[in-house]
Amino acid sequence: MQQTIADKFTSDPRVSLAKRLLLMALLDHQSAITGIRPPDPDLQADYAETIAEFGVLRGGDLFYPYLGSGIGKGPFVELSDGSIKYDFISGIGVHYWGHSHPEVVAVSIDAAVRDTVMQGNLQQNTESADLAQILLSAATDKGARLKHCFFTTSGAMANENALKLILQKRSPADRLLAFEGCFAGRTLALSQVTDKPAYREGLPLNLAVDYLPFFDPARPEASTRSATEQLRKYLTRYPKRHAAMIFELVQGEGGFYPGDSAFFRALVEILKEHDVTVMVDEIQTFGRTSELFAFSHYGLDGAVDVVTVGKLSQVCATLFSEDHKPRPGLLSQTFTASTQALFAARVIVKGLIEGGYFGPEGAIAQFHNHLIMRLKEIDARHPGLIEGPFGIGAMIAFTPFGGDAAMVKKLIYALFDAGVIAFYCGSHVSRVRFLVPAGAVTTEHIDDVARILEKTLVQVAESV
């Protein structure tokens, strides 16, 4: 069999030996990571100084005093002050395989000896083609019409690219539809879609967006009726002006509110009648529900025209149907992904597809049910301290202290100090959210995090 020079290089015994030695060294040093631990007193002063200096350099303080050391083990991460914490927010959903996962490190070594750090629209390697095939095969497994995949470096850019190809196809239609409380990104265009005024303060209006109420599980039929009626009003008020509706099937930043299949189908039926593109934003939901794609979880495979994925996939992407294929020149980027991200993406996505994560008995459902059980136990022991829980799959949130924003922030900072990294979400009611690293976590880790959470909740409540 004919081999390229690259094949001969990567199979060179010296390269293989170096890789084995690196992985052996990683496992040896990971053995010292057995649980959370406080900062090393000898490192704290320099660490605090570095944190403060970095805040000045970046033009604003970090949300947490977090600078990683560069090693971890599953859900554990070591910071440069020597502390070790549970990472249950995973970089707001990015580190789904946890920290220093041996398989991810192994392919990262493979990527490190490739010819370029970054790949772009002009020059890509074979791993780009391989990953595109993996994503499209999985996306179309149940009948979705998605035929093309364009990579990019961030979820916001994946959404930007989606809007560009949609607006080109639907021109002169120039309006968008979205849900109240949605989050689509913070770029100049997407800040107009994201339903949070603070994110577009001082920015010029460049997109017209009409908002529909999201699904209310307490009023399923009424909320569906309200949304469909509002949709018809907009379509009548601005005839043939709407290019697309952006579906965030589970509201992430808005509070981890899951949607409903019948609710979405009712809206899709109307949109299809009016030839409006159905775009699904899966930057946060990808890989976190009962299916790899949340649109499959909700049975919308036959409806989707454009889908964006990101976060845990490492490489972000815009998937689109043949009839949404853009004209030459519309999509082009110097960087589409790093070589390391492409290698890691293949391991993670294949691992999800082949690793028993999905379905009612899959790992995601098991982790979800276990954490929900622990949160309900805390609620039973401390009535009124938390409400919920809310969420779906590996996206879980709860409301402490009645949703008071100041108290929620006090709690998550206290959790950080206690050794658990979480984050907040919600627009009207503030919540604590976990983006569970399903590829790295065990039920024992969840039990430990729940124990720390309960202790910290009580301490914060008593401090008021």
For 104-137, the pLDDT digits (tens) are 999 999 999 999 999 998 999 999 999 999 999 9
Strands across the sheet containing 306-309? 146-152, 316-321, 306-309, 277-282, 242-247, 175-179, 208-212
Per-residue confidence (pLDDT) for residue 437, from 0 to 100: 97
Average of per-residue pLDDT across 380-386? 95
Query: Whole-angstrom Cα distance, residue 84 to residue 271?
Result: 49
Name residue, tokens 């979205």: 178
What pLDDT does 464 receive? 82
Which residues contact residue 455 at a Cβ distance below 8 angstroms, ignoring those fewer than 6 apart? Answer: 418
Bridge-based pairing state of the strands 175-179 and 118-119: unpaired
State both tokens at 248. 């965030």
Determine the pLDDT at residue 427: 78
**Which residues, other chains included, contact 447 with Cβ-Cβ below 8 Å and sequence gap of 6+?**
374
On whether the CB atoms of residues 163 and 197 are closer than 8 A, the answer is no
Q: Is the predicted pLDDT of residue 1 greater than 80, yes or no?
A: no
Q: How far apart are CA 230 and CA 242, in angstroms?
A: 14
Pairwise CA distance, residues 97 & 351, whole Å: 10
Instruction: Find the mean pLDDT for residues 241-263.
Output: 95
Q: What is the pLDDT of residue 71?
A: 98
**pTM attached to this predicted model:** 0.96
pLDDT given at position 194? 93
| pLDDT(49) > 80 | yes
- Rounded to the nearest 10 degrees, the angle between the axes of helix 261-273 and helix 220-237 is 20
Residue 253 has what pLDDT? Answer: 87
Q: How far apart are CA 445 and CA 437, in angstroms?
A: 11
pLDDT band of 279, cuts 50, 70, 90: very high
Residues 6+ apart with CB under 8 A from 105: 22, 23, 26
Please check the confidence at residue 18 and state whether its pLDDT lies above 90. yes
Q: Is 244 exposed, middle or buried (0-12, 13-18, 19+ CB in 10 A)?
A: buried
Q: In this predicted structure, which of 143-152, 299-308, 383-392, 436-445 has the lowest mean pLDDT?
A: 383-392
Its sign, for the CA torsion 229, 234, 236, 241, is negative
Separation of first and last alpha carbons in the chain: 72
Is the pLDDT at 290 greater than 80? The verdict is yes
Q: Which of 171, 157, 101 is nearest to 344 (CA)?
A: 101
| One-letter amino acid of 232 | R
Q: Strands 68-73 and 76-79: what pairing? A: antiparallel
